[in-house]
Amino acid sequence: TVEAATRALGLNPDLPAALSLRGSGHYLAGDFAAALADHRAALDAAPDSPAGLNHVAWLLATAPGDDLR
């Protein structure tokens, strides 16, 4: 998932769906900082996205450790 999304971002670095997909892959791998960075970038590219807002909120609420909040 992370690799495929990274390839897609090589073609279009501002593709919200690819940023979100890669963020989800990072989340599943336990890399919460990278997940939050990608989901925030996806939200920057599509600020009115309900899914993007939800992903960032979920990470901020559930990520282990206070360093991401």
- Can you say how many angstroms the Cα of residue 64 is from the centroid of all Cα atoms in its chain? 16
How does pLDDT run across 10-62, given as a tens digit for each residue? 999 989 999 999 999 999 999 999 999 999 999 999 999 999 999 999 999 99
Q: Which tokens hold the place of 12? A: 């279009």
Predicted local confidence at residue 61, as pLDDT: 94
Provide the pLDDT for residue 13. 93
Structure tokens at 59: 């990470």
Predicted structure pTM score: 0.92
Is 1:19 a contact under the CB 8 Å cutoff? no
The crossing angle, in degrees rounded to 10, of helices 16-28 and 32-45 is 160
